Chains A and B, each alone.
Chain A
Amino acid sequence: MLRLVVRRLLQLIPTLFGLTVLLFIWIHRLPGGPAWALLGERGNEAARRQIEEQLGLDEPLWVQYGRWLRRLLQLDLGNSIKTGQPVWEEFTLRFPATVELGLTALVFAVVIGIPLGYFAARRRGSWLDVTAVSGSLVGICVPVFFLAMILRSIFAVNLGWLPSGGRLTTGIDATDVTGFAVLDGLLTGEFDASWDAVQHLILPGLALASIPLAVVVRITRASVLEVLSEDYVRTAESKGLRKSVVRGRHVLRNALLPVVTTVGLVTGSLLSGAVLTESAFSFGGIGSFIRQAISDRDYPVLMGFILFIALVYVLINLLVDLTYGLIDPRVRVN
């Protein structure tokens, strides 16, 4: 397994190199520079020149790239131009929030999606099926930010059941160990903090989950339907096995294969949704941070983010393959 990881990462290196070059050129093509972003209203030409001088933005692009690469080789992603803090710290600061959010969404998607899809398929054509299918279709068609808006004004503002945004209620006792609010609470025994963090996760989680959930439901349903028509299910039936055995061992287990892949793909796309959800719930994660970085022309942050994304992407695929291997012996062998 470790060997697999290593191999994947090795394969990644040439791609990453090409990618970073491309992106370096691309983002430096963004009009305007970080200088104005820093100065805002009170900026003036002189100040701009001064800053760009200092940032070395006046040098040729390849020199700048060389410098960036050199630092990268020393495991240094550089500092954010906007906040002046090391990019790596900025990430580790915001990454946990996004991961928590993403995981919550995934949990919703999987825990609700798979059973729903399964039963929808089993009772094909029943009201359950119809609602599940149409529901998932609608789920895909509702713009995430609109959903977020609705959820917030209903559950946070009007009903007041859940917090309207943020990660933790201000002033609650929470010791920051890992940056994962929920986990921290459990580690430090501040369970109320964990609970609080969970409450803050529900609404954004739901908003973010809408699309993955819909997708999972539909894939599961389709896949179960397909498996139901497989010969080996017929065989199992012909052996007179109990329903539970046929469904669990023979239907569900096979039906899960495509679902796993889909979940992997969805996970990748979660970040997009996170950009919207995080800003809608002022949930200080990486999504909104990067979105800001783009308009701030915060080159180091953007470059770092690309590397980061590439790695996350590879890791997700890796996880998918591993899980896949666990379920499907055919893959395991090859």
Chain B
Amino acid sequence: MRIARPRAARMFVAALAIGLIASGCASERDDDESGGDSEVFVFGAAGVPAALDPSLGSDGETFRVTRQAFETLLDHEPGGTELVPGLAREWSSNEEGTEWTFQLQEGVTFHDGEELTGEVVCQNFDRWYNWSGTYQNTTLSYYWQTVFGGFAENESEDTPEPNYVGCEAPDELTATITVAEPSANYPGGFSLQSFAIHSPKSLEAYAEDDPSGEGEDITFPAYSQEAGALAGTGPFRVTEWNKGNGEVTLEAFDEYWGETKPGVDQLVFRTIPEESARRQALQAGDIHGFDLVAPADVRTLEDEGFQVPVRGVFNILYLGITQDKQPALGDIQVRQAIAHALDRQNIVDTQLPEGGVRATQFIPDTVAGYSENVRTYEHDPELAQQLLAEAGAEDLTLEFCYPTEVTRPYMPAPADIYELLRADLEAVGVTIEPRPLTWNPDYQEATRSGGCDIYLLGWTGDFNEAYNFLGTWFDGYQQEWGFENEEIFDLLTEVRQEPDVAAREALYQEANEAIMEFLPGVPISSSPPSIAFSPDVNPPTVSPLTQENFAEVSFK
């Protein structure tokens, strides 16, 4: 009873809509600044940000929001993938690529009035390095662990060894970051939102509340769930996160240091999970733009006068093949047969949004290291059948996994793409056992643990470095591929330690050729996720990395 009564009481209250009493749990809200006259730009996002502190983020929805408020040492050229100065106006490294020195911009002020100095940069990096407890969990520190390895004191044997050594600030506007091993992740890694620079005041505030280490929960620290303490250097500053309505509100930051000053007073990211709901919200004028437009809607929107700028491609969709589950797949001829059986061009023509291209290798052509002379596999059913015959696998049966209820930037409609590929494979006499799985977690688990013969998966690059693609798959044995191939593995290990960019590019090309020779899977396509804006706004320069800068947005 002691348990039931109070909760029951509260429930009862809620049920009767006398919420006042329950308001203990409801967040106070006040946005008087958003008076009618001020210009509000509303953008429809597909998902809710995980946190407002980019250091804890690992997904696009989080970064889309934080990117407007936090800036990184290095940045990408608008609409491109080349590294350009960010908070650092110059950067350089030593021969070995273990010491990275950044010359900071002058007169950069944080939202809370603090100044940007080399010291501040170091404080930020040291904070990440010294993370403990829940912070060391991959969900909170994914990018740190991938780019800089582990922490000062690792608490789990699953955490990698730290590659970060330390950071000095020889003078006001210089910061030097030292790492143990050179890596292909540098300097590209410094452009990741996760390593955006926070105000020192904020850092103190963060230190106040640790994520509840209590027992078994992984909890985002309270500060990262509200506007409060967060202060970056970006053109906007976060003023409110209304979780009830799934809205994050940002205000223009008047003392912004950069050239592109914010074009609107207020920027709102509203979460609208349903694809069609997003479109209709735009059509109904409730929002001024949204990302991940369904390919089918692009034409309709354009006809209705909406702007649908085409992004460059920076992702790859591939047909994964698990070799050690189904022995036949270990046979190169069978894999080639599959490659020849697939009519990938048809997918590009009928399924993918404008700008989509058929892939010839595991990286898009926008990435340095793309090779023109990899072995290609044309659509050729006869050849495919012949190859199968030679391999003695005429009556091949494959379990084909595909994800349901999800759309990915590289894969607008998984079920449809599966359908098309299935038809192709069955056309050459392969029997297909469909195995649809919900994207999270079933599909992830099944594919990663090598539970499927063939499956659809893809990748969107974080920064312009082929390793960011190839490294994630082929740097060693992985269950999802289930093959051993020293040549490929060695190439990638070599390239990882190669400090020289030019040298790396050559190695990547070599690797790509080797990979396409061995054909561990079939790269299908690269396609840009479409983004749409209402006619009455000047949209931002669209970016292949989906790193649009909303400061560029303004009303016509």
| A interface residue numbers (CB < 8 A to B) | 5-6, 9-10, 12-13, 31-51, 53-56, 67, 72-73, 75, 78-79, 81, 83-85, 88-89, 92-97, 99-100, 103, 149, 152-153, 156-157, 160, 163-171, 173-180, 183, 187, 279-282, 284, 288, 295-297, 307-308, 311-312, 315-316
- Assuming the A-B contacts A36-B445, A37-B440, A177-B19, are A95 and B14 also in contact, with contact meaning beta carbons closer than 8 angstroms in the complex? yes
In the A-B complex, the 4 residue pairs with the smallest Cβ-Cβ separation, listed nearest first, are A178-B19, A36-B441, A92-B25, A47-B138
- Assuming the A-B contacts A9-B5, A171-B40, are A85 and B219 also in contact, with contact meaning beta carbons closer than 8 angstroms in the complex? yes
Q: Is the CB of B6 within 8 A of A169?
A: no
Select from chain A the residue with minimum beta-carbon distance to B34.
A171
**B326 nearest CB across to chain A (Å):** 21
Name A93's contact: one of B6, B59, B243 (CB within 8 Å). B243
- Whether B84 sits at the interface, judged by CB under 8 Å, is no
- Whether B286 sits at the interface, judged by CB under 8 Å, is yes
Docked CA distance A149–B276 (Å): 9
Name B286's contact: one of A72, A170, A279, A316 (CB within 8 Å). A170
Q: Is the CB of B444 within 8 A of A40?
A: yes
Docked CA distance A5–B12 (Å): 10
Q: Is the CB of B215 within 8 A of A170?
A: no
Q: Is the CB of B159 within 8 A of A50?
A: yes
- Assuming the A-B contacts A40-B59, A51-B139, A156-B280, are A45 and B286 also in contact, with contact meaning beta carbons closer than 8 angstroms in the complex? no
Name B27's contact: one of A42, A48, A176, A297 (CB within 8 Å). A176
Docked CA distance A315–B225 (Å): 33
Q: Is the CB of B12 within 8 A of A315?
A: yes
| B interface residue numbers (CB < 8 A to A) | 1, 3-8, 11-12, 14-15, 17, 19-20, 22-23, 25-32, 34, 40, 42, 48, 50, 58-59, 134, 137-139, 142, 156, 158-159, 211-212, 215-220, 225, 242-247, 266, 268, 270-274, 276-278, 280-281, 283-287, 405, 408, 438-442, 444-446, 448-449, 457-459, 479
* Residues of B contacting A13 in the complex (Cβ-Cβ under 8 angstroms): 1, 3-4
Interface centre among A50, A55, A280 (most CB of B within 10 A): A50
- Assuming the A-B contacts A9-B1, A85-B225, A311-B11, are A38 and B218 also in contact, with contact meaning beta carbons closer than 8 angstroms in the complex? yes
A-B contact count (CB 8 A): 250
**A246 nearest CB across to chain B (Å):** 34
Q: Is the CB of A9 within 8 A of B34?
A: no
* Residues of B contacting A94 in the complex (Cβ-Cβ under 8 angstroms): 244
**B152 nearest CB across to chain A (Å):** 17
Q: Is the CB of A179 within 8 A of B26?
A: yes
* Residues of B contacting A296 in the complex (Cβ-Cβ under 8 angstroms): 440-441
- Assuming the A-B contacts A178-B26, A280-B277, are A84 and B218 also in contact, with contact meaning beta carbons closer than 8 angstroms in the complex? yes
Select from chain A the residue with minimum beta-carbon distance to B156.
A50
Q: Is the CB of A89 within 8 A of B25?
A: yes
**B300 nearest CB across to chain A (Å):** 11
**A179 nearest CB across to chain B (Å):** 4
**A270 nearest CB across to chain B (Å):** 12
Docked CA distance A24–B228 (Å): 37
Select from chain A the residue with minimum beta-carbon distance to B1.
A10
Docked CA distance A279–B445 (Å): 26
Q: Is the CB of A297 within 8 A of B22?
A: no
**B164 nearest CB across to chain A (Å):** 19
Docked CA distance A145–B163 (Å): 52
24 residue pairs of the A-B complex, CB under 8 angstroms, read A10-B1, A31-B445, A36-B441, A37-B444, A38-B139, A43-B138, A45-B448, A50-B137, A75-B3, A92-B26, A99-B14, A152-B277, A153-B280, A160-B285, A164-B277, A164-B281, A165-B281, A168-B245, A170-B286, A176-B26, A177-B19, A183-B19, A295-B439, A312-B11
- Assuming the A-B contacts A9-B4, A164-B286, A165-B280, are A34 and B217 also in contact, with contact meaning beta carbons closer than 8 angstroms in the complex? no
- Assuming the A-B contacts A75-B3, A93-B243, are A180 and B19 also in contact, with contact meaning beta carbons closer than 8 angstroms in the complex? yes
Select from chain B the residue with minimum beta-carbon distance to A291.
B405
* Residues of B contacting A170 in the complex (Cβ-Cβ under 8 angstroms): 40, 42, 247, 268, 270, 286-287
Select from chain B the residue with minimum beta-carbon distance to A64.
B216
Q: Is the CB of A279 within 8 A of B273?
A: yes
Q: Is the CB of A39 within 8 A of B274?
A: no
* Residues of A contacting B284 in the complex (Cβ-Cβ under 8 angstroms): 156-157, 160, 163-164
Q: Is the CB of A99 within 8 A of B29?
A: no
* Residues of B contacting A187 in the complex (Cβ-Cβ under 8 angstroms): 20
Q: Is the CB of B11 within 8 A of A178?
A: no
**B297 nearest CB across to chain A (Å):** 12
Docked CA distance A315–B17 (Å): 14
- Assuming the A-B contacts A9-B8, A84-B218, A165-B277, are A34 and B283 also in contact, with contact meaning beta carbons closer than 8 angstroms in the complex? no
Q: Is the CB of B22 within 8 A of A282?
A: no
Q: 18 additional contacts, CB 8 Å, given A79-B217, A96-B19? A: A33-B441, A38-B139, A39-B444, A42-B142, A51-B138, A53-B158, A54-B134, A56-B215, A79-B212, A83-B48, A85-B219, A89-B25, A164-B284, A170-B286, A176-B27, A179-B23, A180-B17, A295-B440
Q: Is the CB of B8 within 8 A of A315?
A: yes
* Residues of A contacting B273 in the complex (Cβ-Cβ under 8 angstroms): 279, 282, 288
* Residues of B contacting A99 in the complex (Cβ-Cβ under 8 angstroms): 14-15, 17
* Residues of B contacting A38 in the complex (Cβ-Cβ under 8 angstroms): 139, 218
Docked CA distance A6–B5 (Å): 7
Docked CA distance A81–B280 (Å): 32
Interface centre among A6, A10, A100, A165 (most CB of B within 10 A): A165
Name A178's contact: one of B20, B212, B242, B438 (CB within 8 Å). B20
Docked CA distance A39–B15 (Å): 36
Q: Is the CB of A51 within 8 A of B8?
A: no
- Assuming the A-B contacts A95-B14, A175-B29, are A46 and B158 also in contact, with contact meaning beta carbons closer than 8 angstroms in the complex? yes
* Residues of B contacting A56 in the complex (Cβ-Cβ under 8 angstroms): 215-216
* Residues of A contacting B242 in the complex (Cβ-Cβ under 8 angstroms): 176
Docked CA distance A133–B268 (Å): 46
**B238 nearest CB across to chain A (Å):** 16
* Residues of B contacting A307 in the complex (Cβ-Cβ under 8 angstroms): 7
Select from chain A the residue with minimum beta-carbon distance to B160.
A46
* Residues of A contacting B408 in the complex (Cβ-Cβ under 8 angstroms): 41
Q: Is the CB of B272 within 8 A of A282?
A: yes
Q: Is the CB of A174 within 8 A of B29?
A: yes
Docked CA distance A97–B17 (Å): 11
Docked CA distance A33–B14 (Å): 32
Q: Is the CB of A178 within 8 A of B158?
A: no
Docked CA distance A294–B185 (Å): 36
**B36 nearest CB across to chain A (Å):** 8
Docked CA distance A279–B190 (Å): 38
Q: Is the CB of B220 within 8 A of A84?
A: yes
Interface centre among A32, A149, A152, A280 (most CB of B within 10 A): A32
Docked CA distance A48–B4 (Å): 36
Docked CA distance A177–B216 (Å): 32
Q: Is the CB of B286 within 8 A of A166?
A: yes
Q: Is the CB of B286 within 8 A of A73?
A: no
Docked CA distance A88–B11 (Å): 11
Q: Is the CB of B272 within 8 A of A165?
A: yes
* Residues of B contacting A103 in the complex (Cβ-Cβ under 8 angstroms): 17
* Residues of A contacting B459 in the complex (Cβ-Cβ under 8 angstroms): 41
- Assuming the A-B contacts A51-B139, A72-B3, are A178 and B23 also in contact, with contact meaning beta carbons closer than 8 angstroms in the complex? yes
* Residues of A contacting B283 in the complex (Cβ-Cβ under 8 angstroms): 157, 164
Docked CA distance A37–B444 (Å): 8
Q: Is the CB of B216 within 8 A of A54?
A: yes
Select from chain B the residue with minimum beta-carbon distance to A279.
B274
Docked CA distance A241–B263 (Å): 74
* Residues of A contacting B58 in the complex (Cβ-Cβ under 8 angstroms): 42
- Assuming the A-B contacts A39-B139, A103-B17, A284-B244, are A297 and B272 also in contact, with contact meaning beta carbons closer than 8 angstroms in the complex? no
* Residues of A contacting B219 in the complex (Cβ-Cβ under 8 angstroms): 79, 84-85
Select from chain A the residue with minimum beta-carbon distance to B146.
A42
Interface centre among B211, B274, B278 (most CB of A within 10 A): B274
**B211 nearest CB across to chain A (Å):** 8
* Residues of A contacting B243 in the complex (Cβ-Cβ under 8 angstroms): 93
Docked CA distance A152–B220 (Å): 36
